[in-house]
Structure 1
């Protein structure tokens, strides 16, 4: 603490101002968790929910999220007036909310339920003024339930600001205000790329991943079907979080055991196909460069990015790698090899992907990834869906004895594992390309220059006397900016990795 340090008083305690952008951040630093619906630090301030209201001496009631800190402010956060305002605000939300909570996908982590409990709502004094609206099932990735929307705007800002798409927005006025795709169409009929980031920030069940659990359970119960699973690298992190496993706890073996208990005949690792992608994409990059073909080459692993490019930058499709994603490469490989090896028909082999990403659900349904109407990947489960299946089966996940992945598709290298993080695909391709260019094994496999968490990273590397200019992008708004540079001819990149989700697949 220094003599010239500036302070804000929060409930009688002096809290130093240390670069916080608003009073909400100051108050949270003071150890007080004000309820919010519409505040996310990575999004613009909206101030719609009115739950973070505070009393500022001499200024009255103000929104903590939209008020910058000033030295000398005296703030109260829990007065009778503020408690009543918050309670009324939540009751008004609940009055028009579909209260089918026990069957809601978000029931285990619904922010509305949590806030209602915290502000002391035990009954609702207001009558609904809206009629029940139909659910939107048009997207293979996301279900939209307008009856559970609280108009917080989180999904609108995420889609517009982080993803740069704007597939959904506010429409109408007054009590008829709603969050809708353009022209009242379904999510699957507009510009939505199925990335699922809207569902990720939605505090209620208004936007949720489209579940395929029932279809998978039916396949597992069918004695005529052989059901195998492929597990993406990022899932081994996310599933541990679902069961409160310690950070860094290796849960892959327990996940395999859980899948076997659920009835899967074999469990494989998508890392196997990620390694194949490294080889194919790396060789394609070297071939393009040697032939003098137009660069940059964009990665093609992310289905959200591929869909975005098809919709917004069709002139760049020739720059995308011709490789399938690891999910689809794996599905094609398994559907080609296992039926012959096991003496079964292709239609009786069911491939289930366990993925962190809702866009994979859309990708699996693309017609080019099917043979005579039989898809290479039959169903896609998100990490949360798998967690629900494990929980529903009564399995105590953290007590399971680890089991091994099945061969030959249960083997993978570290290059495939890092696909789940932004920069991982680039680093894996660099490892392959560097050895091909130099003809020598790498002394170190680490390319730290491509690592990091910023939305756009650039790196220039010297490999075997050749200069490689790289860009690593996550978030489709950043991808749009880079794609516009390429179209304008102002980009000098050789290889560009794009992931739709912030942070890569681990943020799916």
Structure 2
């Protein structure tokens, strides 16, 4: 495997299958004269096949793409080549979310402020970036459109419940390619990555949009037909660090004494508030979508209170909005990370999940805490909530496979991810998702189950 990816980094526990709908074909070595026939002389030479990320998205042979295809079409080398050949009238624009900023700051042993200043100066002076932005404006739109859609679905008895968050491309691909029965549960609101790209492309003509994301599967998300053109290239913090090494650049050399606010303002597009797009919001380090839904419902039900319930492992959490007068549940949502928990969820949402569970054992495992100190004493069951914030990586996006977590031991990796999550809550300024300019545009995916090919051998498939 490449130096950027290794087996221990694939922490969604799913490996590619052997089947592929685009096999190699024999090379024709030349025209034979009519009538000539050589029995048993078929060519064994196989032609080199060009497989695009679009091919991978449309193929059911693998859960995700192979690393070779990912890195050949969405990588730092692809970016460098495109950057060197940018037309004069094309501007480079860069976006980066808070998880990647924290990971890179930790890797370079810098404070977040020092990293931000160095990163902005590097991208502006070395690579000539015209604008460099955070992704919170895009996330605000994702959160608000998610809350609006969930509120509408809550009143419809015909809607599939629980609704499943679709900002994690690893989980979306898993659903589309292997669990078609989950597709109706998916919310079709686009992720902050894609909405940020759409906003930039709409506001600034002729740009090349590079984004730095915590997960390799974000490369596939940028290649979806329903998001084509919103992001030109996706690289991870690991690739960013590799790029600097290959270019013989030291990030610390670009640390400037310029005031951080002044620097961020100079790198922001017109109308982009730095106090918003460089910030984050309340909730998890994966976007806080579950908690933001409960906050939205709380604003619609004055006098209600939020109960937070921890599940049987650290990757399960449930939020319940309670009516104080009678302790009835008004609304509920949950955070569910990692494929071990996802597979348990799938069993409950599909026909294969009919096995009875020992409720007493589940209740004994669950611990309950509430914002107002009350205990409701019931087990976490995401399948019974209104909405699930699903992420493929254990620990969520703060533990993404593209982040710079060099710990070989899995427990140490999780410890570092937990440390970054705590720092995320402390050092990233928080804004209200409702405090942003109104955007009536629709940012939606078009999900569909991908049919499995009947023409390929699926021996060894790890689904």
TM-score category (smaller protein) = 0.5 to 0.7
User: 1:257 and 2:121 equivalent?
Assistant: yes
Q: Secondary structure at the match of 1:267?
A: strand
User: Residues of 2 paired with 1:412 and 1:448: CA distance?
Assistant: 27
The structural deviation recorded for 1:225 is 1.4
User: In the TM superposition, what are the counterparts of 1:97-496 in structure 2 within 5 Å?
Assistant: 105=3, 154=7, 163=12, 165-167=14-16, 181=18, 188=56, 190-193=61-64, 212-221=75-84, 222=86, 223-245=88-110, 251-261=115-125, 262-292=127-157, 293-339=159-205, 348-370=206-228, 375-391=229-245, 392=247, 394-397=249-252, 400-401=255-256, 402=260, 403-404=263-264, 405-407=267-269, 408-409=271-272, 410-412=274-276, 416-417=280-281, 421-422=285-286, 424-435=288-299, 437-438=300-301, 449=309, 454-462=314-322, 466-488=329-351, 491-496=383-388
Q: Secondary structure at the match of 1:323?
A: coil
Q: Which residue number in structure 2 is paired with residue 121 of structure 1?
A: none
The structural deviation recorded for 1:452 is 10
Q: Secondary structure at the match of 1:471?
A: strand
The structural deviation recorded for 1:367 is 1.2
> What does the per-residue CA deviation read over 1:430-450, in whole Å, with 9 as the maximum and x for residues that have no partner?
223321x2268x99xx97547
Q: Secondary structure at the match of 2:153?
A: helix
The structural deviation recorded for 1:298 is 0.7
Q: Residues 420 and 452 (structure 1 numbering): CA distance in 2 closer, same or farther, change over 3 Å?
A: farther
Q: Which residue number in structure 1 is paired with residue 450 of structure 2?
A: none
Q: TM-score if structure 1 supplies the norm length? A: 0.55
Q: TM-score if structure 2 supplies the norm length? A: 0.59
Q: Is the 8 A contact 1:278 1:416 kept in 2?
A: no
Q: Is the 8 A contact 1:283 1:433 kept in 2?
A: no
The structural deviation recorded for 1:238 is 1.1
Q: Considering only aligned residues, what root-mean-square deviation do their CA atoms show, in Å?
A: 3.7
Higher relative CO (Cα under 8 Å, sequence separation at least 6) belongs to: 2
Q: Which has the higher strand share?
A: 1
Q: Residues 414 and 252 (structure 1 numbering): CA distance in 2 closer, same or farther, change over 3 Å?
A: closer
Q: Is the 8 A contact 1:450 1:472 kept in 2?
A: no
The structural deviation recorded for 1:278 is 0.8
Q: Residues 209 and 434 (structure 1 numbering): CA distance in 2 closer, same or farther, change over 3 Å?
A: farther
Q: Is the 8 A contact 1:421 1:503 kept in 2?
A: no
Q: Secondary structure at the match of 2:155?
A: helix
User: In the TM superposition, what are the counterparts of 1:16-27 in structure 2 within 5 Å?
Assistant: none
* Unpaired segments ≥5 residues, structure 1: 1-97, 99-103, 107-141, 143-148, 169-180, 200-205, 340-347
Q: Residues 413 and 366 (structure 1 numbering): CA distance in 2 closer, same or farther, change over 3 Å?
A: closer
Total equivalences in the alignment: 319
> What does the per-residue CA deviation read over 1:4-59, in whole Å, with 9 as the maximum and x for residues that have no partner?
xxxxxxxxxxxxxxxxxxxxxxxxxxxxxxxxxxxxxxxxxxxxxxxxxxxxxxxx
- Name which one, 1 or 2, has greater alpha-carbon Rg: 1
Q: Secondary structure at the match of 1:358?
A: coil
The structural deviation recorded for 1:231 is 0.7
* Unpaired segments ≥5 residues, structure 2: 24-50, 355-382, 401-463
User: Residues of 2 paired with 1:325 and 1:447: CA distance?
Assistant: 27
> What does the per-residue CA deviation read over 1:132-188, in whole Å, with 9 as the maximum and x for residues that have no partner?
xxxxxxxxxx7xxxxxx9xxxx55xx86xx6453435xxxxxxxxxxxx45898995
User: Residues of 2 paired with 1:291 and 1:358: CA distance?
Assistant: 36
Q: Residues 399 and 415 (structure 1 numbering): CA distance in 2 closer, same or farther, change over 3 Å?
A: closer
Q: Residues 384 and 452 (structure 1 numbering): CA distance in 2 closer, same or farther, change over 3 Å?
A: farther
Q: Is the 8 A contact 1:105 1:208 kept in 2?
A: no
User: Residues of 1 paired with 2:207 and 2:69: CA distance?
Assistant: 32
The structural deviation recorded for 1:356 is 0.9
Q: Residues 387 and 164 (structure 1 numbering): CA distance in 2 closer, same or farther, change over 3 Å?
A: closer
